[in-house]
Structure 1
Amino acid sequence: MEDGKREILDSPTNSQQTISDDDEIDYTTKPEFYDPDLDDKDERWIHKKRHGLQSDAVLSCPACFTTLCLECQRHEKYLTQYRAVFVVNCKIEGEKVVRQNNSRSRKRNRGKEGLDRSDASSTNIETFKQVCCSVCSTEVGVIDEDEVYHFYNVLPSES
């Protein structure tokens, strides 16, 4: 039994001589890539890019964290969705098209089978194209016919 205790005390995790990485770092020299004014420079850069306009968030790709939009507006009803006109690092997938019937009569006609002929021929059908991150190809949203981007799969950050 005494041998068992001796093995536990002799293990490296219980040793008094264990040295942490913090003990080996020399904090008296400044890091080579440290810039104390970097936050102020970043803030000036973003204000210049936005031309003084405010944004609800800065949007990033959820897979690779690439910046997708610096100026956007949050959806009133769906709080995790955003819309924007000016984007970066986005590509439009032309092959994949999503169509949505945007008529207000959908809820009233829910019990009826099929669509009225007037609904089918009307211009209430919106066409959306899939939008992906240009770096990792993750789907992040759609773009409508008016070239407004609708983001629903993004990481927002306070701006």
Structure 2
Amino acid sequence: MNNKDDETHKEEEGEESPSHSQQTVSNDDEIDYSVKPEFYDPELDDKDEVWVQKKRGGRTSDAILNCPACFTTLCLDCQRHEKNVTQYRAMFVVNCKIKSEQVVAHLGSKRKRGKKGRGSSEAEAGSDMGKTYKRVCCSVCSTEVGVIDEEEIYHFFNVIPSES
């Protein structure tokens, strides 16, 4: 018995056949691959690469940096730190906001971490001993991703790098 006979048999018995919208597609034989999907562009990767190269101005980058919480792109052109390979610095960023009311002072000398732990290396604003930094957050989800120094160089330490 084929599908048409089956539907006729169900109608004769008083059963309703499912409407077209209620039928589910269960295998590849029922998908029409001759029609292009509405939102597919086979040249999109090439277009994206040209756009990124134009934004970088011909410079190469160590990575493309993304927010660890929402994966929003934060930087297309950055330089990896020489010693701390999970840290990056950059001058040109996107989707970042500076928390100007939250200032962190970095002391020039290395301090031993005592019982206070992580917070012992941060000091109040107004310290004369070193540079001051402002916190930088993702503009989409407000996750803290790094800091910006007085020379307007961004220092990223809480990001997900991807190949550039």
TM-score (norm 1): 0.72
Deviation at 1:31, TM superposition (A): 1.0
Q: Report the Cα distance in structure 1 between the residues aligned to 2:29 and 2:67, rounded to whole angstroms.
A: 37
Q: Report the Cα distance in structure 1 between the residues aligned to 2:41 and 2:136, rounded to whole angstroms.
A: 36
Deviation at 1:27, TM superposition (A): 2.4
Q: 1:48 maps to what in 2? A: 54
Deviation at 1:90, TM superposition (A): 0.6
Q: Report the Cα distance in structure 2 between the residues aligned to 1:72 and 1:21, rounded to whole angstroms.
A: 46
Please give the residue correspondences for 1:100-139 in structure 2 after superposition, counting only pairs within 5 Å: 100-103=106-109, 124-139=129-144
The counterpart of 1:35, out of the listed 41, 44, 49, is 41
What is the total number of aligned residue pairs between the two structures?
A: 127
Q: Percent identity?
A: 72
The one-letter code matched in structure 2 to 1:48 is K
After superposition, the CA RMSD in angstroms is 2.1
Q: Report the Cα distance in structure 2 between the residues aligned to 1:22 and 1:63, rounded to whole angstroms.
A: 36
Please give the residue correspondences for 1:1-159 in structure 2 after superposition, counting only pairs within 5 Å: 20=26, 22=28, 24-103=30-109, 124-159=129-164
Q: Report the Cα distance in structure 1 between the residues aligned to 2:156 and 2:100, rounded to whole angstroms.
A: 17
4+ long deviations beyond 6 Å? none
Q: SS of the counterpart of 1:41?
A: helix
TM-score (norm 2): 0.70
Q: Report the Cα distance in structure 1 between the residues aligned to 2:149 and 2:36, rounded to whole angstroms.
A: 50
Q: Report the Cα distance in structure 2 between the residues aligned to 1:138 and 1:85, rounded to whole angstroms.
A: 19
Q: Report the Cα distance in structure 2 between the residues aligned to 1:49 and 1:64, rounded to whole angstroms.
A: 22
